A = this chain, B = another copy of it.
Amino acid sequence: MGTAGIKEVARFAGVSPGTVSNVLNHPERVAAATRARVEEAIRDLGFVRNGSAATLRAGQNRAVGLVVLDVGNPFFVEVARGVEDVASDRDHAVILCNSGESFEKEARNLRVLAEQRVRGVLITPAGENLASVEALHDRGVAVVLVDHSSPGDLCSVSVDDVAGGDLAVTHLLSRGAERLAYVSGPMAIRQCSERRKGARRALRTAGLPVRALEELIVPEMNANGGRLAAEKLLADGLPDAIFCANDLLALGVLRALSQAGVSVPGDVALIGYDDIEFSAAGAVPLSSIRQPTYRLGKIATELLLDVCDDPAGHAHQQIMFQPELVVRESSR
């Protein structure tokens, strides 16, 4: 059994438990010879430090929680990489949780993280209701919002979705489009409504009416949702250009149009959002709006750990990155 404690190691090495602890946590305080003997005992006994005991003693875990909406979404996978790298550099573990956009799962995850006494939590909230997040924060756990700009007093790191929507539509308009469509998930999803806001701003700037942008709202932001939207557009009459609220939708649209014999970008220009890996890999490479996802995770984690290390001296920050237009064949 894996129950060699620090005590047995001490006995085996002929030292006291305190010395073993020092070898583990403050090696410089221990004479080289003693240290070597202890380290050998650790190896021989297959000793593994009991993290719970250490955490209990310390009052907090050297870990941060990361709660995302969908671990399967490439956007969050990239964010997670950024988080992982920084946390690992600063000797923290990352506990990755998936809320699946459900408040209930979000709350459950948050509870587990609180029970684990993580130093802090990075979270993309499942909606506009930040009650459980704020409760956590009030209880003294550091919190940084990811991809969600907070109106309140929470730190946040996000990307300007209004600017992104504007970029996309400005691009389509510059290509000569006059009738546009916006394929989106429910407007309750902040990203969807913000991107629409940006799209409308672009329209205004160009002196066009809001109704030049037809809206198609589908329940799921995936390829199937895109297909549904495309079928509707095919039935109702195609616009000149289509802006999709994410790449998965755009890929679904692209496929449905191709199958119906519609040429992209010949007949219709198309642009997505997120610039996921697959966007560039399709038969018709997809234009998209790229977000600095890795940096999002990286900066958010740095912010979080800085707050943890110096809770007093740190002002709340709300950082917003700018997205970037990536033009590929689908709107060339």
Contact = CB atoms under 8 A, between A and B. Distances in A.
Interface of A: 1-3, 46, 48-56, 59, 61, 71-72, 74, 77-78, 80, 84, 93, 95-96, 98, 111-112, 114-117, 135, 138-141, 222-223, 248, 251-252, 254-255, 258-259, 277-278, 280-285
Contact of A278 (B2, B96, B139, B223): B223
A275 B128 CA distance: 35
23 contacts: A1-B139, A1-B140, A46-B139, A48-B111, A48-B114, A50-B56, A50-B115, A51-B112, A52-B55, A52-B61, A56-B56, A72-B74, A72-B77, A72-B78, A95-B95, A223-B277, A223-B280, A251-B281, A251-B282, A255-B281, A255-B282, A255-B285, A283-B284
Contacts of A2: 114, 139-141
Contact of A77 (B71, B115, B282): B71
A54 B140 CA distance: 21
B48 A115 contact: yes
Contact of A252 (B80, B117, B281): B281
Given A50-B117, A95-B95, A223-B281, 6 more contacts: A2-B139, A46-B135, A48-B111, A54-B115, A84-B98, A282-B283
- How many subunits of this chain does the assembly comprise? 2
A3 B285 CA distance: 54
A247 to B, nearest CB: 10
Contact of A48 (B3, B49, B84, B139): B139
A274 to B, nearest CB: 13
A72 B80 CA distance: 10
Contacts of A114: 2, 48
Contacts of A138: 46
A56 B48 contact: no
